[in-house]
Amino acid sequence: MTQVDILILSNGPGEVTTWVRPVVKALRQELGDDRSLVRISVVLSPCSNASGKEAAIALSYPEVDRVQGAEHFWQFLLWGKTFENWDWRSRGVIVFLGGDQIFPVIIGKKLGYRTVVYAEWEARWHNWIDRFGIMKPEVATRVPQKYAQKFTVVGDLMLEASSHSSFVIGHLSLANDKGQMTNDIDASTATLRERQERTHKVGQKTELIGLLPGSKAAKLAQGVPLSLAIAEYVHAKRPQTRFVIPLAPTLDLQTLASFADPQKNSIGESFGFGGASLIIPEDANGKALLKTATGLTVELWQENPAYHLLSQCCICLTTVGANTAELGALGVPMIVLLPTQQLDAMRSWDGLPGLLANLPVVGTPFTKVINWSFLRFVRRKGLLAWPNIWAQEEIVPELMGKLQPQEVGEMVLDFLANPEKLDDMRAKLRNIRGEGGAAQKIAQIVGEEIKKSGEMRE
């Protein structure tokens, strides 16, 4: 094989972990691991949801050779030069995995590379892009017939990402119908599990509930105390429930715990939350915990991505954002929480409202002025969670307003007491997503485009 460069264009934390990760693995499987022949580079573009750690995450993937952060993107887009002045081979393929679909068009022209776009819901620039890998056939329904040969249904990359998760969930195996724990409990959580098991009645089955309060301060300020207060309420009435918080890769234990501390986060008082303290085990292999004032312990899961963990949850409580897309792709039932006790939470929202709310000087007044009317519009319009947007109907509940733990807790209890409702939600979530195997199919398309680039040069 002649030397080629594969350039991955991506942006936010969700895309880097759920799209880039499985694709670069598949590319190495398809094209080989000889770096002298195939080099994989990742260039990130700005994203309103970015944490600043996306470049480090991408660089941690062993299949990737080099990464440029989003702060240098515009220079690269305009002039075709990276910050470190990378060299580029004469043949290559650009693979779009997040951002604006115009980016591969511009960069492809500058480098003279073929272009492959993964299109989840919409495909653009049909005339200028060489190939599209689409999630479902419906994406191509509005495409002119003359471009039809460019489109290949590859399936859902989000589903593919979960199958590439490298860790095992053995130590989170649930109890069997007789309440006996399986033998593969990891030693790091055995003490916690044994302590919780003592509180269960014989014959009860452990129910794992995931809490996903967000990754940004504005969401965490409300999400952490609210979700923990809900957990306390549910556990008091249904002691077989266990709770776990999978930490975002950009979040550390101490930061998360600070939002559960009433002295550092007074917003918790509006939820009647008494606070929680961080417990870090002496054993390096142990799991950190949050212990609430009522004695409830919540596991903190730091491994990422946490797909195997989330897939074990009977239901999750989450905020809006990429979490809802990941849970939807995994077919995990969820309740989406949008508490409005703190007006500045709007600063962490996606899209135009979030951008306007973060403007200097005018941001805070804008947030307060627009919040009331915007929330009225959203309540009427609905569909803020990704699964609901995909389906154009409310598959998963979206709760907005001055939420209280008791009302949300009663909804959780109703779902747990009526598992057929969870089964129905799970079936609807799986129905709206595409098939798996997307990463390998994209890698095959890239291989085909490499051959075409060679034919064109001969």
- pLDDT tens, position by position, 260-286: 999 999 999 999 999 999 999 887 677
Structure tokens at 17: 């972990």
Q: Which of 137-146, 158-167, 392-401, 431-440 has the lowest mean pLDDT?
A: 158-167
Which residue in 121, 172, 189, 180 sits closest to 391, CA to CA?
Answer: 121
Q: Percentage of residues in the chain with pLDDT exceeding 90?
A: 56
Contact at 8 Å (CB) between 346 and 357?
yes
Contact at 8 Å (CB) between 192 and 287?
yes
Domains of the chain: 4-156+435-457 (3.40.50.2000), 170-432 (3.40.50.2000)
Residue 433 has pLDDT above 90, yes or no: no
121 falls in which pLDDT band (50, 70, 90)? confident
130 falls in which pLDDT band (50, 70, 90)? very high
Average pLDDT over residues 185-200: 39
Burial per residue of 85-114, b for 16 or more beta-carbon CB atoms within 10 angstroms, e otherwise: ebebeebbbbbbbbbbbebbbbbbeebebb
Number of Cβ atoms within 10 Å of the Cβ of 255: 13
Q: Which of 23-37, 63-77, 431-445 has the lowest mean pLDDT?
A: 431-445
3-state helix, strand, coil in the chain (%, to 5): 45, 15, 40
Query: Which pLDDT score is estimated for 364?
Result: 53
Q: Which residue has the higher pLDDT, 188 or 248?
A: 248
Query: Which pLDDT score is estimated for 196?
Result: 41
Mean pLDDT, the chain, whole residue set: 82
- Coil vs helix vs strand at 84: coil
Residue-wise pLDDT tens digits, 343-369? 544 444 544 455 555 555 444 555 555
52 falls in which pLDDT band (50, 70, 90)? confident
CA 76-77-79 angle, 5° bins? 65
Q: Which residues in 271-409 belong to E strands, given as ranges? A: 276-279, 288-292, 297-301, 315-318, 334-339, 398-401
Residue-wise pLDDT tens digits, 328-345? 888 899 999 999 876 544
Query: Which pLDDT score is estimated for 334?
Result: 97
Number of Cβ atoms within 10 Å of the Cβ of 264: 12
**Residue pointed to by tokens 């500045």:** 344
Residue 323 has pLDDT above 80, yes or no: yes
Which residue in 120, 123, 158 sits closest to 136, CA to CA?
Answer: 120
Number of Cβ atoms within 10 Å of the Cβ of 312: 16
Query: Which pLDDT score is estimated for 184?
Result: 33
